[in-house]
Structure 1
Amino acid sequence: MNSPKHREPPTEIRSRSRFGAQASVAVLAILLAGCSFSDLKPQSKMLPPGDVSESLANSGITLSPAAWPAENWWTSFNDTQLDTLVEEALAGSPTLRSAAARVRQAGALEDIEGASLLPHVDAAMSTIRERFSANGTTPAPAKGTWQNVHQTTLNVGYELDFWGKIRSAVEAAVGRRHALEVDERAAALMLSASIVQTYIALQETHEQLDVAQALLDQQQQIVKLTEQRFAAELGTQIDIKQSQASLPASRANIAALKEEIELNQNKLASLLGKGPDRGRLIARPHMQASNTVALPSHIPAELVGHRPDVVAQRWRVEASGHEIDVAKARFYPNVNLTSFIGLQSLAFDTFNDHSSRILGFSPAISLPIFEGGRLRGNLEAQDAAYDVAVENYNQTVIDALRDIADQLSSLRWLKERLAQQNEAVDTAQAAADLVNKRYAAGLATYLQVLATENATLTQKRQLVALQSRALSLQANLSRALGGGYRPEIPATAEATPTVADKS
């Protein structure tokens, strides 16, 4: 006789059926959520720096794999006062302190995001004076009476990060913090570059003042010579007046140059974060241009690791990619676990009794079903923000390469310009010396002296300007190459794939 088959109780069968149905609904909801945004993707791609172009390689500058600037690149000008000024500015500039504060702020926001990965625990205590309904669920003797309800609870909550929403938000905050850290380094580079350029302008003004003072001395010698010629009846009163007429203009030019010196000193003091009195203590610069300039042999390929502005934009792309992951995870269910334990009593004298304890546990799942397109709109906005970050990065790379190419183009032609200008100064000076001798011998007119004098002044001014440009280009090349920056860069700037991406 066959034994009867074992049959599960109907309640267990119904329970399994309900669980299976619920699981099927949950899986279907997840699949539908993934399909609801599968058509939304960023459109921009990061521009990979190419190989060194011929225009860079054939710049006439020595190529070297180790020619990236040193971190203290300004010391190459061999001016100890400049070294002191830059170090003073980097230590006390309000601009850099403000940048450091933004980094601390970003670090605090990162901590706030990271706190969501951990359970949150809080305690609450309350005493409520309450009248209970006589027709409600409150049993006698409390129903229909006023009572004091004393309650204290310890509450614990935790969100299960199944879809990586919280982790992606933390990574986005990390990327933003890194970007601001690099911005701080970029600000330091721009500050040091501004100090160096202003210092170069101060030196040029001093040198122009030397030229103007030498011209005034020469003009005063010519006035004396003209007076001697007049006494010897070799000249006229007109010659004396003509020679004297040039003196006020030269003195006015000297006054303007002294004004410019003080303005540059004021600017340097401001860059140091100090008042004008600090600028008056800055002595005449004595910078020296380098005779040789070396260029890294692989500029585009390594530029991402040396320019702080490029690195900062790369970190912003990284952060935007994680923000996309956050937006995608919002399409999926949120799973929260909450629980509490505590004491509740109508009478204070029984508050600490074991029978007054309360305990609860509440898992909660929420799934967006209809939200009017808000989640799709949010994801589209994050995709667009990622595209903006990528294109900003691309433009920064392009601008950086153009910046370097500009310095190389100028450096390539500067050597020839300096050689030609030195020759022009020598020729003009020789002509002026010859005319002055002929004028002293009565064989030349004052107009000839004035013409050669103006020509010599013009050529000397241009030579001083070119020598200052050599210093400026040396500083600009160091800045364009990143100023010795060696950053930490993200391994990839693409959005990190998560469960949301795989759906």
Structure 2
Amino acid sequence: MLTRAHTMTMTLTRHARHAAGALALTMLAACASTAGLHTHATALDADRLEVSRSLSTTALSAEAWPKEAWWREFGDPQLDELIEAALDGQPSLGVAEARVRQAQAFAGVAGAALYPQVNASLKSTRQRFSEHGTVPPPIAGTWQDINEMSLGLHYELDFWGKNRAAVDAALDRAHAAEVGLHAAQLMLTTSLARTYLRLDLAYAQRDLAEDTLKLRQQTLELTRRRVVAQIDSQLELTQAEAALPAVRERIAAIDESIALLDNQLAALQGKGPDAGLLIKRPQLAGVGPVAVPANLPAELIGRRPDVVANRWLVEAASQDIKVARARFYPDISLNALVGLQRLGFDNFLDAGSRVLGVGPAISLPIFDGGRLRGNLGVHQADYDAAVEHYNATVIAAVHDVVDQLVSLRWLQQRVHEQDEALRLSQHAYDLARARYRSGLANYLQVLSAEGQVLAEKRRVLESQSRQRELRLNLIRALGGGYRPASGPAATAATRVPTRGSKS
């Protein structure tokens, strides 16, 4: 006579064989149903972007990568304080930090699927049973208390890696959000530094306007003496007097610009307008020689936060494809139940009230009208889009660096010509004033020569400011001192298939 345990063993064995057969057929069907679905995009190999000729006139140095606190290069303690205050109090960074926490929380939610889920329940119901229902007398037609207490366990056996891939996708997106925070910090600090450079230019332009006002006042006094000496007429005197309000208007416009820039700097710090009133005149150091890293563009893809973030999003899209593929296969889980169940409260805790159950559960996708194929196609298209966006970001990053170098190179030539133009126009102005003092030239000649000098001086000031701004742009283009942490973030590029490699 077979024991109950032996009978149950034979039954489970028979069920296992049927289940194995069903799994094999389902796997074959799943493999066939994904036929013709594949990705099309491959990531760009940055080493294939030729830059050697574009960098041939620029000094190369392995130490040319920006430092983490790159703004200290400008040698202005006030700028250091403003940037540190912005990093501590700017609300936009708070938003980016919240997105990081949100992405990390999503990763935690996805990771829960890798572990058994245990749930407890307690239920008590007062119920009248039908006299004509399926429950026989003496229960039929009576009111009874139905009491249940159970502890259930559910664990999905992740044979196809669906849950693991979902966790990896969530973690990749969390990494992208973390790098996005660095990108937001770089955008904030460079915006603040750029505004600070413009403030420095505004003060220099104000100095030039003040010097111009003094010169025109001196010219006015000279013209008055010439009128007394009957060398000039009231026409020249009126022209000399009219030149002063125009300069004062220029000074007022510059003062407005300074006040607005101070206000903008206060806003970038996340502070009120009064904080801008405390900002003093910038004291910037000169810009040093320009050099770029010798290992461009290979290392640039790991130094630019926007490139690294897009690389992580490619990784996440790749894991989403694995999840979508795994959905073609059956979901297999193990379920267990232990608890108590009884009519009434008498002997509810007795051993005879216990309920026990354990067994596997299989969910088979047989026919879904193309939903799974469509879902896989969507994620494959998302992957292609992420890869191409990554490629575009890499190309833009390399061109961004070269653009700043091109502008710096040609600016040097422009500065040389501007210096020569300023020297000649200043000499012409000195000659015109000398001739005017001696009565050999009229006021219009002096005013014309003065206008040329002022125009050239403005161009020189703008070029000096432009040189600093291009240096700032180069720092931004090189990643602003960002370095990925060791581990997956530093090696993610090797997991992204590149053109010419097998995917």
The answer to whether the superposition gives a TM-score over 0.5 is yes
Is 1:431 aligned with 2:428?
yes
Q: State the number of aligned residues.
A: 487
Residues 220, 429 of structure 1: CA spacing in aligned structure 2 closer, same or farther, 3 A cutoff?
same
The answer (yes or no) to whether the contact 1:321–1:493 under 8 Å persists in 2 is no
Residues 11, 311 of structure 1: CA spacing in aligned structure 2 closer, same or farther, 3 A cutoff?
closer
Query: 2:316, 2:334 → 1: CA distance?
Result: 29
Is 1:354 aligned with 2:381?
no
The answer (yes or no) to whether the contact 2:432–2:449 under 8 Å persists in 1 is yes
The answer (yes or no) to whether the contact 1:205–1:260 under 8 Å persists in 2 is yes
Moved more, 322-331 or 288-297: 288-297
Query: 2:344, 2:55 → 1: CA distance?
Result: 89
Among residues 260, 263, 274, which one is paired with 1:263 in the alignment? 260
1:25-40 matches, within 5 Å, as 25-40=22-37
Query: 2:19, 2:476 → 1: CA distance?
Result: 62
Question: Secondary structure of the equivalent of 2:299?
Answer: helix
| 1:498 aligned partner | none
Among residues 102, 109, 112, which one is paired with 1:112 in the alignment? 109
1:142-157 matches, within 5 Å, as 142-157=139-154
| 2:53 aligned partner | 55
Is 1:229 aligned with 2:221?
no
The answer (yes or no) to whether the contact 2:55–2:402 under 8 Å persists in 1 is no
Is 1:206 aligned with 2:203?
yes
Is 1:295 aligned with 2:296?
no
Moved more, 384-393 or 19-28: 19-28
Residues 326, 15 of structure 1: CA spacing in aligned structure 2 closer, same or farther, 3 A cutoff?
closer
**What RMSD in Å do the two structures reach over aligned CA positions?**
2.1
1:89-108 matches, within 5 Å, as 89-108=86-105
* Structure 1: runs of 5+ lacking an equivalent: 1-8, 496-501
Query: 1:338, 1:344 → 2: CA distance?
Result: 18
Residues 18, 201 of structure 1: CA spacing in aligned structure 2 closer, same or farther, 3 A cutoff?
closer
| 2:500 aligned partner | none
Q: Which amino acid counterpart does residue 158 of structure 1 have in structure 2?
A: Y
Superposed displacement of residue 54, structure 1: 3.0
Question: Secondary structure of the equivalent of 2:39?
Answer: coil
Query: 2:248, 2:195 → 1: CA distance?
Result: 25
Superposed displacement of residue 145, structure 1: 2.1
| 1:315 aligned partner | 312
User: Residue by residue, what CA displacement relative to the aligned partner does 1:346-366 show, whole Å, maximum 9, x if unpaired?
Assistant: 121321122111112242101
* Structure 2: runs of 5+ lacking an equivalent: 1-5, 498-502
Question: Secondary structure of the equivalent of 1:147?
Answer: strand
Q: Which amino acid counterpart does residue 55 of structure 1 have in structure 2?
A: R
The answer (yes or no) to whether the contact 1:122–1:156 under 8 Å persists in 2 is yes
| 1:461 aligned partner | 458
Query: 1:89, 1:106 → 2: CA distance?
Result: 24
| 1:449 aligned partner | 446
| 2:369 aligned partner | 372
User: Residue by residue, what CA displacement relative to the aligned partner does 1:310-352 show, whole Å, maximum 9, x if unpaired?
Assistant: 0000000000000000000000000122211111121213211
Among residues 179, 195, 198, which one is paired with 1:182 in the alignment? 179
Query: 1:92, 1:147 → 2: CA distance?
Result: 64
| 2:40 aligned partner | 43
Superposed displacement of residue 24, structure 1: 2.4
Q: Which amino acid counterpart does residue 304 of structure 2 have in structure 1?
A: R
| 1:219 aligned partner | 216
Question: Secondary structure of the equivalent of 2:41?
Answer: coil
* TM-score, normalised via structure 2 length: 0.93
Superposed displacement of residue 277, structure 1: 0.7
1:126-141 matches, within 5 Å, as 126-134=123-131, 138-141=135-138
Residues 81, 19 of structure 1: CA spacing in aligned structure 2 closer, same or farther, 3 A cutoff?
closer
Q: Which amino acid counterpart does residue 145 of structure 1 have in structure 2?
A: T
| 2:416 aligned partner | 419
Query: 2:8, 2:67 → 1: CA distance?
Result: 78
Residues 11, 288 of structure 1: CA spacing in aligned structure 2 closer, same or farther, 3 A cutoff?
closer
Q: Which amino acid counterpart does residue 53 of structure 1 have in structure 2?
A: V
Q: Which amino acid counterpart does residue 102 of structure 1 have in structure 2?
A: R
Query: 1:224, 1:12 → 2: CA distance?
Result: 117
Query: 2:190, 2:278 → 1: CA distance?
Result: 21
| 2:390 aligned partner | 393
The answer (yes or no) to whether the contact 1:314–1:493 under 8 Å persists in 2 is no
| 1:3 aligned partner | none
Query: 2:200, 2:140 → 1: CA distance?
Result: 93
User: Residue by residue, what CA displacement relative to the aligned partner does 1:412-435 show, whole Å, maximum 9, x if unpaired?
Assistant: 111121111112112111211111
Question: Secondary structure of the equivalent of 1:157?
Answer: strand
The answer (yes or no) to whether the contact 1:289–1:474 under 8 Å persists in 2 is no
| 2:475 aligned partner | 478
1:237-248 matches, within 5 Å, as 237-248=234-245
Q: Which amino acid counterpart does residue 435 of structure 2 have in structure 1?
A: R
Superposed displacement of residue 19, structure 1: 5.2
User: Residue by residue, what CA displacement relative to the aligned partner does 1:169-202 show, whole Å, maximum 9, x if unpaired?
Assistant: 0000000000010000001001110011100100
Q: Which amino acid counterpart does residue 54 of structure 1 have in structure 2?
A: S
Q: Which amino acid counterpart does residue 192 of structure 1 have in structure 2?
A: T
Query: 2:406, 2:64 → 1: CA distance?
Result: 18
The answer (yes or no) to whether the contact 1:342–1:358 under 8 Å persists in 2 is yes
| 1:194 aligned partner | 191
Residues 91, 17 of structure 1: CA spacing in aligned structure 2 closer, same or farther, 3 A cutoff?
closer
The answer (yes or no) to whether the contact 1:315–1:493 under 8 Å persists in 2 is no
User: Residue by residue, what CA displacement relative to the aligned partner does 1:351-401 show, whole Å, maximum 9, x if unpaired?
Assistant: 112211111224210111111110000000000000110011001011111
